Chain A
Amino acid sequence: MAIRPILQYPHQGLKSNSAAVLPADPAVDDVVQDLLDTLAASPGVALAAPQIGHAVQIIVVDVSRKKGETGHGLVVLLNPVILALEGRKIVREGCLSAPDYTGNVLRHEEAIVEGLAQDGRIITINARGFEALAFQHEVDHLNGMLFLDRIQSLSTDLFRRKTRG
């Protein structure tokens, strides 16, 4: 297939809910291949279908593209959902679809993600650390959420509007 341009906000495709897919649908394979080709040509470690213009629930994550990370290697997930999150943490996050800006967002250290493989098998992944962040970020894309919707504090975290008890 092909390397697709990664859409940038304000493209409204990034703010829409994506539709669930059927693994048997041949169009799914085309989108997956486009995602893989585009990911391979990008500086990132993960992509969601809406970022290349498809409003369907497909993500690809491969944190091993980042030096020092292994995770589960390349994961292609259809209709992924996050079943559980553990360990709140603030992370400075950015996105290829909203470049040149980063913000402090609340994420979780561990995530259990479930979805379908391309052959229809159910896959459950216990992700930790960087990989857990990647899954949380990509699943957000399927729900029309950007990290900008999750910014937790403007600058450093220590001083945010604490009221004296």
Chain B
Amino acid sequence: MLTSKTKQKPEILEAVIIRFVGDSGDGMQLTGTQFSDTSAMFGNDIATFPNYPAEIRAPQGSLYGVSGFQVHIGSVEISTPGDTVDLLVAMNPAGLKTNLQAVKPGHTIIVDTDSFTKKNLEKALYESNPLEDGSLENYRVIEVTMTSLTKETLKDVSGLDNKSITRSKNMFALGMVYWMYDRSTDYTINFFKEKFKKKPELIEANTKVLNAGYYFAETLELIPNAYTITPAKMNPGTYRIVMGNTATAWGFLAAAEKSGLELFLGSYPITPATDILHELVKHKHFGVKAFQAEDEIAGISSAIGASFAGDLALTTTSGPGLALKGEALGLAMMIELPLVVVNVQRGGPSTGLPTKTEQSDLLQALYGRNGESPVIVIAASTPANCFDYAYEAAKLTLEHMTPVILLTDGYIANGSAPWKIKTVADMPDIDNHVINEVTDTWHPYDRDDASLARNWAIPGTPGLEHRVGGLEKDRVSGNVSYVPENHEYMTNIRAEKIKRVQNYIPDIETEFIDKGDLLVIGWGGTYGSLHSAVKEMNDTGYDNIGFAHFNYINPLPKNTEEVLKSFKKIIVCELNNGQFAKVLKMNFDGYEFLQFNKIQGLPFGSNELIEKFKQFLK
């Protein structure tokens, strides 16, 4: 670790929010991830928010090519990446222009002045140089000739081309920020050693630049003092940092091991769900069969085939992909096979905003199929609990013999947070309905009395040969049946099967208070924003506001109406135009569901929520 002889004792802060912005090729995601991982290792609670364009390498210096990574670290509980930032690191004018509004006046901006060329200023549509025209006088601006300093640092390192030299300037910025917030550079240096195992010159170069940035900040008079954020109080245990998509993949691995089944993934690449595929393809050692199919439909279809053949089957996608999978999902529902569909929601409709977050696939998940075709719908709400809800999706699908849609979203899928690692032994048991014994009275559509799940007769089992299919089935034999009463009976029993899942899922619990003036309702990935907004109000004297966050959407928890009854006003907050509010209206008559909706491809900010809640409390 680097130590500083001249350094004064750092000032202690409770929490800090930092945003790194630059061109999409500037390595901002890496820089942000390194800072957040280092802080997590140090013991801080963290929340991150990567925000990047859909273009892989948008034209350099353009406003729409700006890539950002925001990280919130604290010695207190952190549940969102935060609204406004304490420190903005802007690698170019476009980054400054598009992110300045997030910086609180009086706070700090670090800029690479080398990038503030005439050309880049024009590309960012600046009429004059903001570093010179006084427009930044309300901020503490630290101007650093970062590109030149990086080149100077690396002038003696051989084997580097110009491009690699310039590209390592993000490490100069990271080094500065490490000094400012009293972080060790060890984690990042180890990261270089691992990542560039076969390119020692890159280990040397990146380490040199990182250290140069660190020492530069130390000696720079513009930075009066360093800050530190002491470790957060967290439950004892072993932790790691997880991204939502990784946690989702791991939840399925755990479920496969616990259930004793092999895991099959049929998938087609789509942002922002692809990282689940990337993760699962690595794990052939656990017997995972990950199949990249020719399209979304083949993704789910291969999973249906694998499920028919006895695997724990899964398909992963995002909104447009779910639309394509609709017909096949109806088949899985009709033939009553276990299947999990993960939909990592993104901005819609159509191609929409592929890299941005939204919750607008809820109604599609509930109703986006022909005919009466209910399925179980659940939603994860934090990067870490993607593990739990992936596991739960697998458990529900196997125990109830019906497809489950697991909704996450771009925000929690790409966000990372500390996760207190669970072992497979910590997870609940998973039953299944596999049948091995032939009896004279066996029929493919025999059901479990309590859950109504049908039995699962797997090819290869002698004596249980049978046919399934999308045509309506006789209630017992499973043969094709056009009998009118049978169709109604089967329609109702498929619906009742989903309804009875209520008997197996937990009640909804309210946070803060369970009776009062205003109930804030959310679902899925908005948990962090809503929880921290209500908490902040609670901490500042509002003792009449409660919070209920839904992870189980279909069916809803049994006690939902009890909770609704206990509050005078209800506000449903969603990143869509009110889809969950519609669901609640349909299910619970006689309540007024106020709405707060945001459809900007961005998560809720605490301030806008608090402002809204205060209005409704008046």
Q: Is chain B found bound to chain A in the same assembly? A: no
